[in-house]
Structures are given as structure tokens and as C-alpha cells.
Amino acid sequence: MARGSNRVARLDFDLAAVLDLQKTLAGISEEIRAEVIGDMVAEGAKPLVRSIKAKVPVDLGNLKASITTGLRIKKRKGTAVAYVGPEVGGYYKGGKRLNKKKDDLRGSSGPSRYAHLVEFGHVARDGSRVEAKPFMRPGTDESINQVQAKLVVGFQKGLTRAARKFAKRISRKN
């Protein structure tokens, strides 16, 4: 979903359970820390995506198919952010993603353009009220424990990958 909009699911939780991870990260250079945190955040976003997809009301399946995650890593700051929601700019038809250059886009939809209407409800053109069918907020709330567990797994994967990369760099120098 679009960054900076109110349609992005925000996942806030206490990292007290992973204080050791924070201590370990403090002793690592910013560049490596960003990569480790990137792996950690990417792994943590997976159960969130699954949970949100399970909550999406299915009409044509386009909205459900478009739920994805994007990752932004800022190496200088040593931070990473995962954006979870409908893919911005993607076109879907019959629950399948279309190729903008090869496929006929007639009759397709861009789920990121209407996801907020499904989540929060709206007034239809005829004046009737269309009830909200939230999927982002309940999916986020439901997956919080799984996300925390996956953050630890992602941390281990990231640290292992960073160690391999560092060892490879050292072996090239020798």
C-alpha cells in the first residue's frame, strides 16, 4: 500500500522478548546490521501476509492475490521497514496478476485503489451504505505472536548469511 497513507497496517509490539537481539545488533556495523535487520523484518512479514490474506473477503480474488510485502533497507541508518498490503500499480483479473505489456488489461482491477473501501466501508453510488469488511487490522492483530517468533528466526538467518558473506570476503583477501 502507499507509504504515508492511513491504509498501511502498522505493527507495533514490545521487543522486550528479544532484548538479546538488540544487544547483539548494537555490536555490529551499520551496514551488516541493516542486512540482518532486513532479513529479520522480511521473515517477520511472512506470517502477517498469510494472516491478512486469510481475512480478505473474496469476490473475484484480485484483492487477495495482490496482498504482498515490500522491504526498504537503509544501510546508513541500519534500519529496515516492511510494507504489507495490496500491490500498488499491479493489475489483476480473475485472481491472477497481469503483465502490463503482454496482457489485455480490459476488465482488470488495481486492488490498491479500492482496498480501503473494503477495509473501512463506504457509501455506494446509489446512496446505500456498504459495510466494512476489515482484513488488514484483524489480520495484523491475529498474527502478532507469529510475527515475533519469525523475527527471531529471521535474525538467525540474517546473522548466518552475514557471517557467510563476511567469511567469503575474508577468504578473497587471503
Q: From residue 52, give the alpha-carbon distance in Å to each of 10, 24, 169.
A: 13, 31, 40
Whether residue 5 is contained in a domain is answered as no
Q: Given this model, what pLDDT does residue 52 score?
A: 93
Amino acid in the structure at residue 43: E
Whether residue 83 is contained in a domain is answered as yes
Q: Given this model, what pLDDT does residue 21 score?
A: 64
* 94 close to 63: Cβ distance less than 8 angstroms: no
Whether residue 118 is contained in a domain is answered as yes
Looking only at the bridges linking them, the beta strands covering 96-97 and 122-123 are: unpaired
**Residue 22 belongs to what domain range?**
15-173
Residue 11 binned pLDDT confidence (cut-offs 50, 70, 90): low
pLDDT in tens, 62-93: 899 899 999 888 877 777 888 999 988 888 88
More confident residue, 54 or 94: 54
Q: How many domains does the chain have?
A: 1
Whether residue 132 is contained in a domain is answered as yes
More confident residue, 13 or 169: 169
Whether residue 6 is contained in a domain is answered as no
pLDDT in tens, 33-59: 777 888 888 999 999 999 999 999 888
Please tell me whether the overall predicted TM-score, pTM, comes out greater than 0.85 for this model.
no
Whether residue 62 is contained in a domain is answered as yes
Whether residue 3 is contained in a domain is answered as no
Average pLDDT over residues 93-121: 85
The number of beta carbons lying within 10 Å of the beta carbon of residue 124 is: 9
Q: Given this model, what pLDDT does residue 94 score?
A: 83
